[in-house]
Structure 1
């Protein structure tokens, strides 16, 4: 089968990420004797610099780890709602939804502490050793990808009139970042240099003590102080008003990243591991649980229809049952009796309803907004853009990969993220999806060179829901790294940016790997990534203003026209997008019998790369 690139194979180490500089920085760490976890931390901080429109240090990062000598774990880098972030407070401001930008949308930042915890517990390098690549690109400059400048231009007026600290970084001399010209963020480089100096002074020559000191500087030191000052500044947000946030020093000092067991599901000899019901991760598992024993031919209209309709049911359950503010009944949601009953709802015709199930006989309860968008009352599409026409979801154009942020002039965005997967010669494996803290999410903290995040926009301002805004609880996130095992042994790490599309594209990728022939004696990672992809928006979106398009499906132009026509005959509102516009998948794998490592990366958007040897 033709692919855009080969699936890489080797025995030393493999990296796949959404930006070539992050991939090569991670590989440099492996070459310097570091392991997969050291390399992941270095890549994560480089991604903050080279994809600032997609992630930042004050964002979040869930990870799935498979240490060669231990159990698979989820490392949660998703911070909770601050103590003052109550439904009553936001309602008192006249809000029905958490704004898509500004400090009111800021959760406790989780990314930095999660990266440091990974480095401390599983890495071998010091803070200075893993941060030096990010410092170099921030200080000496990097050639920015086109989307950075395009994003900045979209919010230029906001930056120049309201968010001056952002203009100082991203519009120096009035010019936005341009491809081929070096772009720098000296404030960010200075922040990391000061952090390293203070951590080394406190921790001496002890690597662990240095890392713990760095974590404390973030949560209680000069960085924490600057973040709290920024949260208290009145800031124009997507509501059209200026608001201050709820983040306090106590919120920062009282939280740290943590480990937990993954949610898992067994399918045809594979075990899939995801983050728990505080994320959308189990929706991936539910889509597998909804599949019949005998699948239609791979790539056929019947196959695509089946996956679309199963996704709708899983995402409806996500809406009704997932969230950190309540116990998520995953045992029932992933059980065969429950999914056998749900499977009967899939017919030959496309559904346009939001149909959550009743696990254990419980009655699903949805937010008022979800009811409104499901009935077509909101007037917005699932991307968060005012609807231009019924059944016409926003489609990536002009070389942009679907999953890139769609940004309105007020800074409103449906958001996006980055991804990195790494496997090393010892068999350590990690999948991480850093996001949030985008340059368009909040004003840059002038003392630090990066903004706060906006993950609270994913929580509802209705009481009593699993995903209600609740102090101390995590907003339900779309970030969803993946790990696959065979016979209990980790064999593949993968993931993608893309918000609500992440656990659609990942299901399609996994099935393409599992159902198709191997190449060169190994998994056909690149062929699965390159295969024509699609997504649907038939459920409430996770990003402000949280719209929905019942019955919509967006496919790549490369999909078989006969398949497209049959989908339309079945009642799907099909939009044909650009030929390379759906997904930004990354993947690495390891054959436990031979020790051969492999990797592949997405060609869409022309910036993701796999490296290895």
Structure 2
């Protein structure tokens, strides 16, 4: 099996992320005596600077972790909620049938700051200045632009110039798109962070007290004030019209990140832990449970899955994501125990045939009747559809032709003591919403994942979380933790399935599992505006082989060749408690992700 890089092995620490500057910042924190949580926070803030087309301070961050003292996995949910003014009536009154994929109406409470600081306060050891200093340095002194940043700015250049002048001021210096490889600075963001540090340190006292002061300065102080004032100004969004936002300082002051238990499933001798059904996380649990029952039909040959393996994986993905559409969300009770039960798994497996399904088939867990959003039940979104502001829409992941585009970011860290964490931060992209000039960042657009229809698990309801695609993973085998994840919107839990199968079925190490050919289905409604889908479509890397492509087409799949190296931006870390050895790996696709460690 060809691999792009060696699997890293060490004893001190491993940090893997979607950008080398974040990975090295995290490793620097480990080298200075910090733990995995300190390192993750430092890396997370750096990503907000160096991958601004994929994540920003105005976004969100779900994390799943285990500590050396307690190996029981926990979820830290820093997914912000819908504002009090975000009602279906208000959006319908604006003439909308979907929440726009960009602009101020798509904003929820920005959860990232509270999430990172809560993690640092409760499980880290470093001061806020220690971990935030790396990001401030890059924002103040500059960082080299990767190629996708200028390409993203070029895509929204007209939007910025005509409708988002504050974004044009920051991202189009001198009216021109900055060139790849040049240094770029964001002094307003550096100023914001330094003011937060000053306010935090002015209270004196213990590390924890200063971190709480910084949280308050964001959610009850000057940051909240600036966000509310800016949100009242109408700006153009994906609807093609100007709208003001509804997010207020009170919305921010009344919210905070929370801890919760993960959804866990036992799959053979492995335990998989995911975020709850307010995310798409349990779709991976559903998929691995189904495929475990089909394990005798799964195989890898020289590190490449057979066509039968890909077919079965695609078919179980269609079933899991159909269930996501009918049953997942934060606005109604989710029958998660029934969805993950053995009888229900068996009932879903009975639907799988040797040919590709072209239908969206949610199940009936516990005998309940599934209900799809009217937008989907009426067949809207089938075959695609462009937004008036297409370059700013949603969370771009991979085009139908397989071209790699921006999406989000991911971080995995494990330390010598056995602390481990997987985080998938996202939102607040430079193209998601107009820049707030006094703060140097944009708000997120996660509210586009709500439906403007009553009575659904993912209906827009004030105070509820949008059904996010962000989906970090943690698994255990004989006490050995494995943290992994990827950017990619709706594809996250499909590409993670590819990794899981390569590792557990193919027997490949972490790096080889990441490098193995990837695939995904587009045969279910996407979470992002304009909620399009392509029945029967299977996007795959050409390294599956011409014969596999022919076999899959013969089974009725509408195969799209994505190219040799196009899908996923996975990273992973693990630890063997018996030996103390640490392992790390990261994706070479896109030439940005790196694992570092020693």
Q: Shorter-chain-normalised TM-score: which range?
A: over 0.9
- 1:470 deviates by 0.5
Deviation of 1:379 after TM superposition, in Å, equals 4.4
2:345 is matched with: 339
Question: Deviation per CA, 1:197-256, whole angstroms, max 9, x where unpaired?
Answer: 111002x14211110000000101111111111211101000011111111111000000
Alpha-carbon distance in structure 2 between the residues aligned to 1:236 and 1:588: 42
Q: 1:425 aligns with which of 404, 416, 419?
A: 416
Say if 1:373 and 1:548, in contact at 8 Å, map to a contact too. Answer: no
CA distance in 1, matches of 2:97, 2:381: 18
Q: Which residue of 1 aligns with 2:187?
A: 186
Deviation at 1:178, TM superposition (A): 1.8
Asked if the contact 2:400–2:560 (Cα under 8 Å) also holds between the matched residues in 1, the reply is no
TM-score of the aligned structures, taking structure 1 as reference length: 0.93
1:209-358 equivalent positions in 2, closer than 5 A: 209-291=209-291, 292-293=293-294, 294-298=296-300, 299-358=305-364
1:150 matched to 2:143? The reply is no
CA contact (8 A) 1:64 1:72 kept: yes
Instruction: Give the match for residue 486 of structure 2.
Output: 496
Within-5 A mapping of 1:205-604:
205-291=205-291, 292-293=293-294, 294-298=296-300, 299-373=305-379, 376=382, 379=385, 394-397=400-403, 400=404, 404-405=405-406, 416-487=407-478, 489-517=479-507, 524-604=509-589
Deviation at 1:516, TM superposition (A): 2.7
Q: 1:423 to 1:595 in 2, by over 3 A?
A: same
Shift of 1:91: 0.5
**Secondary structure in 2 aligned to 1:605?**
helix
Secondary structure of residue in 2 paired with 1:588: strand
Retained in 1: the 8 A contact 2:149–2:180? no
- SS of 2:487's equivalent? coil
Q: 2-side partners of 1:105 and 1:250: how far apart? A: 17
Tell me if structure 2 keeps the 8 A contact 1:324–1:473.
yes
Aligned to 1:494, the other structure's residue is in SS state strand
Whole-angstrom distance in 2 between the partners of 1:241 and 1:364? 34
1:374 deviation in Å? 6.7
Residue matched to 1:125 = 126
Q: Which runs of 4+ in 1 moved over 6 A?
A: 383-386
What is the number of equivalent residue pairs in this alignment? 585
Q: TM-score, normalised by structure 2?
A: 0.96
Q: Is the 8 Å Cα contact of residues 235 and 242 (structure 1) preserved in structure 2?
A: yes
Residue 75 (structure 2) aligns with: 74
Distance 2:146 2:205 in 1: 38
**1:549–1:377 CA distance, 2 compared to 1 (3 A):** closer
CA-to-aligned-CA distance 1:354-411 (integer Å, 9 cap, x gap): 0000011111011111223478376469x9799xxxxx962233xx3xxx33xxxxxx
Cα distance in structure 1, aligned partners of 2:380 and 2:554:
22
The CA distance in 2 between the partners of 1:510 and 1:125, in whole Å, is 33
CA distance in 2, matches of 1:372, 1:219: 41
The 1:511/1:384 distance shift into structure 2, 3 A limit, reads farther
* Distance in 1 (alpha carbons) for counterparts of 2:63 and 2:390: 27
Q: Identify if the C-alpha distance between structure 1 residues 393 and 161 changes in structure 2 by more than 3 Å, giving closer, same or farther.
A: closer
Q: Which whole-Å deviations, capped at 9, do the CAs of 1:534-559 have from their partners, x for residues lacking one?
A: 11110000000000100001111211
Counterparts of 1:18-97 in structure 2, within 5 Å, are: 18-70=18-70, 71-97=72-98
Q: Is the 8 A contact 1:484 1:492 kept in 2?
A: yes
Mapped to 1, the partners of 2:531 and 2:390 lie a distance apart of 6
